[in-house]
Amino acid sequence: MNPERQTLNTDATGGDAPPAASRRSAMLVLLGALVLIVASFTTLDLKWAEFLAPDATAKMAEFLGGFFPPEASPRFLAKLGWASLETLAMSALGTLIAVVISLALALPASLAPRTARASVIRGATRLVLNALRSIPELVWAALWVIAAGLGPFPGTLALAAHTVGVLGRLFADTLENLPPAPARALRENGVPASAAFLYATLPQALPQLMSYSLYRWENNIRAASILGVVGAGGLGQMLYFHLSLFQMREAASVVLAMLAIVALVDTLSFFARRQLTD
Amino acid sequence: MPTAPRSPTREDARLRDPAWHLRLTMAVLAALLLWPMLVASEFKPWQLLDAHSLAASGRFLASFVPPALDRDFLVLVAQSAWITVAIATAGLTLGWLGAVPLTLLGTARLSQSSVGRPMRPLPALGRQAVRWLLIFLRSVPELVWALLFVRVVGLGPTAGVLAIALTYTGMLGKVYSEVLESTEAGPSEALLRNGSSRLGAFFYGALPQAAPELTSYTIFRWECAVRSSVIMGFVGGGGLGQQMDMSMKMLAGGEVATMLIVFMMLVALADHVSRLLRDRLA
């Protein structure tokens, strides 16, 4: 555990053979993992009997058979299409809101901690961003559903809340790592801070900010499709609804729509990435 | 010769943004795109400010302070937190058990049929099938797997464990294959050419090069599994998520606050342990 002692030990052993200390710590980690795994399986009340019982295979087959054929009546497909659109709209809007707020929060979060006041502001903003990020979208959705009622609106807000945490930090780090010369050149020639930001800092950072935002949007489309299971709209809400009524054929269609959206996003992002990197 | 003062109109033209046509078009286009999205997502922020809902959310938020800290509840939260970690660990273990054989089957680097010649059609087809299976397993969101398994095995940790196991079989299998494919071909090929078995080529050719990366990715996935096992609680997968869902439905803000704090601590702890272990490996 003590890093100093460890370096001492490795120095002492030297050579190509794995040093005794690192081998011992590897064994300790392995042992720890084994204990954790055994403890997990023994304390959890797992119902293996349900799977190993003789009639389990038949039950499972019946359950799976219920999904076929997926529901494909035109009326249902229209509803499914609308829910998919709702999902896409939630993800796009949630990301857009998050981008705007993140940019606003990235400014205080990227303040150089030169004075006490600056470092307090910087620290506080980063703390807020950390808190926003560490609560997953689904938990945010459950909270927003309480505040804003069922539907896609709380889903949008949930995506925005979590994404602000992620993007705010990435944006702040981007701004911090920019070469400072262009902005300083403008500032030293008497340009106000806002103009220096708009004409020197922002254009330099824009490609990076765009690529982060697009990457988050991609993630958010995936997240938006499942947020609905707590009542926050889109395909997830539809899936939850039909599963609760044991309408398995409808549920199968919804899952297929989810897979289609994910596949579409993956393909588009794959080609977009190739375009951008070539 | 002194330059004649420019007329004010020319000055204005010089100061005008040369790209304003484009900017205006983009702004109009963006607004046109945004409008249907606002409609589709029922974006009505004023609903939040409606007196009735404002009072309700205000009451709920106010009840967050103080967090619930009585002994019985803390014991319950600690138990749920352990169940969450246990679900993640058990699920990842099962996922690993599923991923390893599929990786060995799917990795072309370990193929005997493609030593020194193009792969035969049948093994190529088999590898493609394994790849499709892995893609399917990880494309269905784990929350959907959990929802389905809750219907089969009922509420509780079993559904969560199975959901993580299936999704992580897909994820681990894909990444393990990629890591193994990116190892140096020399050692495994030399072994295979000299008649070594697939397992021999794996253990003595590919694994020694890839072991640190494989271990570190697995540890990283454990950290992710802890996070997803909380989320799966919301659909009945047991653990902290399920408790949080119940407290939210009862609008017990104090309990929700405590559990959110415990959740953040749990994730930070998993993050810390995972980073510590991965740094050691690097």
- Whether omega before A19 lies within 30 degrees of 0, making that bond cis, reads no
Buried b (16+ CB within 10 A) or exposed e, B138-152: bbbbbbbbbbbbbbb
pTM: 0.80
Work out the average pLDDT over A42-50.
Answer: 77
CB distance A134–B268 less than 8 Å? yes
Q: How many Å apart are CA A241 and CA A252, to the nearest integer? A: 12
Q: How many Å apart are CA B231 and CA B258, to the nearest integer? A: 16
CB distance A29–B277 less than 8 Å? yes
Q: How many Å apart are CA A236 and CA A226, to the nearest integer? A: 4
Most confident of the following: A80-84, A115-119, B93-97 = B93-97
Smallest Cβ–Cβ distance between B87 and the set A44, A93, A262 belongs to A44
- Show residues of chain B in contact with A134, CB under 8 Å: 263-264, 267-268
What does residue B71 show for φ and ψ, rounded to 5 degrees?
-55, -50
The confidence band for A103, taking pLDDT boundaries of 50, 70 and 90, is very high
What's the angle, vertex CA B57, arms to CA B55 and CA B60, rounded to 5?
Answer: 110
**Domain-located, residue B109:** yes
- Show residues of chain A in contact with B244, CB under 8 Å: 139, 142
Q: How many Å apart are CA B76 and CA A215, to the nearest integer? A: 38
- Show residues of chain B in contact with A90, CB under 8 Å: 41
Can you give the pLDDT at residue B150?
A: 84
Q: Give B107→chain A minimum CA distance, Å.
A: 22
What's the angle, vertex CA B17, arms to CA B11 and CA B21, rounded to 5?
Answer: 125
Smallest Cβ–Cβ distance between B231 and the set A136, A146, A262 belongs to A136
| pLDDT tens digits, B139-155 | 888 888 888 888 888 78
Q: Give B44→chain A minimum CA distance, Å.
A: 7
Q: Where are the alpha helices (DSSP H) in chain A?
A: 3-13, 20-43, 48-52, 56-65, 74-109, 116-134, 137-148, 152-176, 181-188, 193-196, 202-227, 234-244, 248-277
- Show residues of chain B in contact with A146, CB under 8 Å: 56-57, 60, 248, 251
| pLDDT tens digits, A200-214 | 888 889 888 988 998
Q: Is the separation of the CB atoms in A187 and A193 below 8 Å?
A: yes
- What's the ipTM? 0.78
Can you give the pLDDT at residue A101?
A: 95
Q: HSE of B63 in the Cβ direction (CA atoms, 13 Å)?
A: 14
Could you tell me which CATH number the domain at A75-277 has?
A: 1.10.3720.10
Can you give the pLDDT at residue A8?
A: 38
Q: How many Å apart are CA A40 and CA A30, to the nearest integer? A: 15
Number of domains in chain B: 1
Smallest Cβ–Cβ distance between A47 and the set B47, B158, B245 belongs to B158
The confidence band for B114, taking pLDDT boundaries of 50, 70 and 90, is low
Q: Where are the alpha helices (DSSP H) in B107-206?
A: 121-139, 142-153, 157-181, 185-193, 198-201
| pLDDT tens digits, B26-76 | 888 888 888 888 887 777 777 777 777 777 777 878 877 788 788 888 898
Residue B260 is part of which domain span? 71-281
Residue where the block lists tokens 């680097």: B109
Helix (H, G, I), strand (E, B) or coil at B188: helix
CB distance B230–A139 less than 8 Å? yes
**Domain-located, residue B36:** no
Can you give the pLDDT at residue A47?
A: 74
Substitution target from A35, A40, A90, A264 for chain B, most B beta carbons within 10 A: A40
Q: Give B27→chain A minimum CA distance, Å.
A: 14
Work out the average pLDDT over A106-114.
Answer: 86
Q: Is the separation of the CB atoms in B185 and B118 below 8 Å?
A: no
CB distance A40–B85 less than 8 Å? yes
Substitution target from B32, B41, B280 for chain A, most A beta carbons within 10 A: B41
| pLDDT tens digits, B155-186 | 888 889 999 999 999 999 989 988 888 888 88
CATH at B184? 1.10.3720.10
On the question of pLDDT at A18 being above 80, the answer is no
Q: How many Å apart are CA A276 and CA A227, to the nearest integer? A: 31
Local structure of residue A197 (DSSP, 8 states): I
Smallest Cβ–Cβ distance between A153 and the set B41, B248, B260 belongs to B41
Work out the average pLDDT over A220-228.
Answer: 88
Work out the average pLDDT over B117-141.
Answer: 83
Smallest Cβ–Cβ distance between B93 and the set A37, A47, A259 belongs to A37
